[in-house]
Amino acid sequence: MNHSNTRRIAVIGLGAMGGAMASTLHKAGWEVTGFDPFDAARAAAEAAGIATTANLGDVAGTPYAVLSLPAASMVETTVPQLLAAPGTMAIVDTTTSEPGTSKKMAELAEAQGAAFVDAPVSGGRDGAATGSLSAFVGATDAALTAAEPVLLALTGGKYSHIGGPGSGNVVKLLNNVLAAANLVSVGEALGVAKAYGIDPVKAAASISEASGGSKVSAAMYPNWVLTGTHDSGFSMGLMARDAALAVDVAAQIGETPSLLAAVANQWQEALAILGPRADFTEIARTVAPAVTPAGAPDTTPRRLT
């Protein structure tokens, strides 16, 4: 097998995550071609030395592909176009997608002699830029073997094979809705501490060393909320979407997680106030505005001009 041929990879979606993953693959010696419909995204990738195209058809049949897309619907329209030419070996979908979509795409790929794995990732843009993401993988054993070179490049081996197609999506959505719940609960707790005259920084540090600690209290609040920077790079719109999707996925099999549903609703309320482009850590501004220098959001209705 031609080694140079099998090191060719297309990255579909060159936003914050996709662009960083493309750069990581490029640095690791892969021959990367990035696709994105937006000029600015392609320009940023080109500045990092990555070849790009505005035509998805140009990368059809590339041996490997990584998807980093906003929604499951875009995965469904993209995969058939990638498979329209022969040569595809494995498609790794890092999108926070839906299990039904991944099952259909896996069947489609298998029918054409290719592999499709759902591998939604965690670790943010920093993890994407350093090849240290973690991934929740749903795939058959054969598909996982085909996709493993890409997974290793993106995660350094930090991926979990959850089960068959779609299972990675389920667990990633559950992970995100739990993080969403924790962002609210930690904010409320630190708000109580602040009301008692306790420094939220000290409270968060103490809690993080005890049974109530988490990545939210140990890193997210100290780094992005208590500083007032709110610059994690992950949007309010995406987290609100993921929380809602987690509840929808549960409902599809007859489960009714009441606490998670309440959390999802709270994120929809914050979304209506802050807008989809706000950083997801700005949820603290709605549940505990006193603990962040950014303060409470402006809820004054804007006049139409």
The pLDDT value given to residue 5: 58
| H or E segment and range at residue 190 | helix 167-195
pLDDT given for residue 258 in this prediction: 98
Among 284, 268, 113, 305, which Cα is nearest to 204's?
Answer: 284
> Among 172, 194, 202, 215, which one carries the catalytic annotation?
172
pLDDT at 302: 41
Residue with tokens 């080694």: 3
One pLDDT digit (tens) per residue for the chain, 305 residues: 334 457 999 999 999 999 999 999 999 999 999 999 999 999 999 999 999 999 999 999 999 999 999 999 999 999 999 999 999 999 999 999 999 999 999 999 999 999 999 999 998 888 999 999 999 999 999 999 999 999 999 999 999 999 999 999 999 999 999 999 999 999 999 999 999 999 999 999 999 999 999 999 999 999 999 999 999 989 999 999 999 999 999 999 999 999 999 999 999 999 999 999 999 999 999 999 999 999 999 876 444 34
172 is a catalytic site residue: yes
Which residue in the block uniquely carries the two structure tokens 């994690």?
A: 232
Please report the domains of the chain, with CATH numbers, ordered by start residue. Answer: 3-164 (3.40.50.720), 169-291 (1.10.1040.10)
Number of residues written out for the chain = 305
| 280 contacts 183 by C-beta, under 8 angstroms | yes
pLDDT at 125: 85
Largest CA distance in the chain: 67
